[in-house]
């Protein structure tokens, strides 16, 4: 049993069952035993790999797209270049390198990073020192000026609550104690105004998820873009509407039981992009588009070919595999989706349909 499992069991004995959201928050961000608090979980030696860690092309191509949006919006001479949950800082480093020769872009960009993990802040500081980034706990601290923002695999780490439909009411999935171990249970069903619209598209016994912390984050970002212009790009696994139980744990690149090793496995849930698009009002949301499609439209294949010229043998093989992994529908290309948020009067962001 992990130290955090003991702490959570003690809490449940004293104060009763906790929601899935409370459980996720403790697992990921507990000040002493939280998953993200202490470690760098990314890469082959860690628990999972993300697109920026698979290939430099991911950050380069998104950087070129973002810089194009900056040009399309009249090259604001001062803007916030922000990332939510920047991991090791790899995406941002690749983005800055790919845009370095675009006149005015780097000079106009003020880098701001939203990061909760002290361990990952240290990795970002190493990687991005030359750009003098500033760190914040929350998006409310971002300056009031044009905002160009990227969030890759950030929203999937935010805590969700799960509800099971019973009649026209909802029973919340809780974490409780059973035979000295953590187990799932259900609260008594109650009607829920926030889920009224889900009575239309669900049946008895189906589960839906909500992610309350995502809403104020999107509202705060959207207010800045509505006032001053810019773009938010959200990339994650998920779909337009949440459906079913998507809570998942990953440990050493393998699926694990979410209740087995709290604090020692990554916990995520699919992102409900409809909820994000709604919270972004009055911004315009692009069509929700598969990652592979956007990367292709932004020119990843040409970039892959030019990088391939300098490679041979196993380096070439792994480069080709990385391109496939990022774009192919059977790999990350279809599972991961991209949503762009802009002002209604801004040009459609590069890579998306009008």
Indicate whether 87 belongs to the interface with ligand SAH (CB under 6 A): yes
**In this chain, which of 106, 108, 116, 335 binds ligand SAH, going by CB under 6 A?**
116
Indicate whether 170 belongs to the interface with ligand SAH (CB under 6 A): no
Q: Which is nearer to ligand SAH, 339 or 346 (CB)?
A: 339
- Closest residue to ligand SAH using C-beta atoms: 85
Indicate whether 89 belongs to the interface with ligand SAH (CB under 6 A): no
Answer whether 105's CB lies under 8 Å from 70's CB.
yes
Binding pattern for the stretch 7-46 against ligand SAH, x by CB under 6 A and - elsewhere: ---------------------x-------x-----x----
**In this chain, which of 4, 54, 114, 346 binds ligand SAH, going by CB under 6 A?**
114
Answer whether 162's CB lies under 8 Å from 209's CB.
yes
Q: Which of 157, 159, 152, 117 is nearest to 268 (CA)?
A: 157
**In this chain, which of 85, 238, 333, 340 binds ligand SAH, going by CB under 6 A?**
85
Q: Whole-number minimum distance, CB 52 to ligand SAH, in Å?
A: 5
Rounded CA separation 76/105 (Å): 9
Answer whether 292's CB lies under 8 Å from 301's CB.
no
Helix, strand, coil in percent for the chain, rounding step 5: 40, 25, 35
Q: Which is nearer to ligand SAH, 37 or 166 (CB)?
A: 37
Answer whether 12's CB lies under 8 Å from 176's CB.
yes
3-class state of residue 5 by DSSP: helix
Q: Kind of pairing, strands 18-19 and 169-178?
A: antiparallel
Q: Whole-number minimum distance, CB 129 to ligand SAH, in Å?
A: 17
Q: Whole-number minimum distance, CB 87 to ligand SAH, in Å?
A: 3
Q: Whole-number minimum distance, CB 91 to ligand SAH, in Å?
A: 6
Indicate whether 50 belongs to the interface with ligand SAH (CB under 6 A): yes
- 17-35 exposure pattern, b = at least 16 Cβ within 10 A, e = fewer: bbbbbbbbbbbbbbeebbb
**In this chain, which of 152, 222, 286, 327 binds ligand SAH, going by CB under 6 A?**
152
Indicate whether 238 belongs to the interface with ligand SAH (CB under 6 A): no
DSSP 49-76: --HHHH-HHHHHHHHHHHHHHHHHTT--
Interface with ligand SAH (CB under 6 A), residue total 19
């Amino acid at each position: 049993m992990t130290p955090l499992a003991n702490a959570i069991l003690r809490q449940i004995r004293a104060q009763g069952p906790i929601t899935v959201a409370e459980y996720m928050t403790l697992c990921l961000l507990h000040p002493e035993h939280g998953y993200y608090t202490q470690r760098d979980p990314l890469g082959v030696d860690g628990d999972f790999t993300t697109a920026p860690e698979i290939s430099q092309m991911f950050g380069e191509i998104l950087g070129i797209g973002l810089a194009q949006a900056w040009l399309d919006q009249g090259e604001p001479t001062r803007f916030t270049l922000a990332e939510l949950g920047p991991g090791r800082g790899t995406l941002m480093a690749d983005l800055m390198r790919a845009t370095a020769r675009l006149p005015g872009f780097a000079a106009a960009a003020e880098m701001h990073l939203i990061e909760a993990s002290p361990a990952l802040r240290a990795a970002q500081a190493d990687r991005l020192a030359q750009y003098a980034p500033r760190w914040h706990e929350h998006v409310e601290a971002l300056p009031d000026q044009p905002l160009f923002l990227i969030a890759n695999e950030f929203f999937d780490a935010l805590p969700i609550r799960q509800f099971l439909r019973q009649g026209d009411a909802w029973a919340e999935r809780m974490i409780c104690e059973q035979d000295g171990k953590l187990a799932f249970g259900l609260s008594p069903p109650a009607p829920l105004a926030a889920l009224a619209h889900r009575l239309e598209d669900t049946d008895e016994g189906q589960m839906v998820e909500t992610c309350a912390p995502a809403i104020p984050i999107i509202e705060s970002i959207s207010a800045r873009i509505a006032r001053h212009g810019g773009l938010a790009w959200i990339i994650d696994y998920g779909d337009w509407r949440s459906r079913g139980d998507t809570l998942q744990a990953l440990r050493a690149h393998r699926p694990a039981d979410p209740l087995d090793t709290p604090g020692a496995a990554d916990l995520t849930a699919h992102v409900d992009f409809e909820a994000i698009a709604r919270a972004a009002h009055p911004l315009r949301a692009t069509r929700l588009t598969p990652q592979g499609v956007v990367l292709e439209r932004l020119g990843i294949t040409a970039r892959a070919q030019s990088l391939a010229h300098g490679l041979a043998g196993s380096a070439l093989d792994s480069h080709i595999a990385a391109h496939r992994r990022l774009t192919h529908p059977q790999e990350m290309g279809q599972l991961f989706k991209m949503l762009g948020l802009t002002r209604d009067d801004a040009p459609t962001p590069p890579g998306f349909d009008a």
